[in-house]
Amino acid sequence: MLTFLTIFLGCLAIYLLLVAGSGPGATFLTQLFSYEELIAAVLLALLTAVVTRVVIGKAVNDNMLKNPLRLGMFVFYTFTVWLYYLAKANLDVAYRVITGRIRPGIVRIKPGLKTELGRTILANSITLTPGTLTVDLDDKKDELVIHWINVGEYKDEKEKLNGVCGPFADWARRIAE
């Protein structure tokens, strides 16, 4: 039931974003949506949710789809924490392009995430953050292979994990597990 609700709300939001500004009125609120588009949005989202509920519920065995709040948390994470780190990463790369001071290397880390969705979120997050790029993913040993443009100092595995992904492992765990 919660899977159904999550798919319904997601499809509704995407459809409404795509048809925003279709209204005939003269003020902002009436310009936003016309009644026809609102009815079509609800009908299409219901249809999509009814058809794909069983398939997606079976294929994606994760907790994320069972709770609409997690979807909201994902959007919040993308537009606050992640954008901040994206800006930081760009200043870092700008410094390295201008000075040419690089110290690259390939390391393996073990984030300890259980679900595939969590690993996907983590891998895509650290690709756009300071100086790291996911090269390969080892599902059996639960390890990520990462190209690090400026290999820092680390003594043990925990410091290495902290240096590579910062707060992202915690966020991925919070969203997907």
Partner 1 sequence: MDVIIIVLLVLIGLSTFFSLLGVFGLMRFPDVYTRLHATTKCTTFGSLFMVIAVMVYGVVRYLEVESYNQGSFIVLTVHAFLAFVAILLTNPSGAHAIARAARRTGIEPEQAVIDEFEEVK
C-beta separation of 148 from 105 below 8 A: yes
* Residue 73 or 149 with smaller CB distance to partner 1: 149
Helix (H, G, I), strand (E, B) or coil at 154: coil
- Nearest approach in angstroms of CB 57 to partner 1 is 22
Partners of 150 in beta bridges: 103
Bridge-based pairing of strands 132-138 and 105-109 is unpaired
List, in sequence order, every beta strand (DSSP E) within 11-149: 105-109, 132-138, 143-148
* Residue 23 or 118 with smaller CB distance to partner 1: 23
* Residue 65 or 107 with smaller CB distance to partner 1: 107
Chain residues binding partner 1 by CB under 8 A are 17-18, 20-23, 26-27, 31-32, 78, 86-87, 89-90, 93-94, 96-98, 100, 102-108, 123-125, 127-128, 131, 133-136, 138, 145, 147, 149, 151
Residue 114, φ and ψ in degrees, nearest 5: -90, -40
- Nearest approach in angstroms of CB 69 to partner 1 is 20
* Residue 7 or 121 with smaller CB distance to partner 1: 121
In one-letter notation, the amino acid at residue 4 is F
- Nearest approach in angstroms of CB 121 to partner 1 is 10
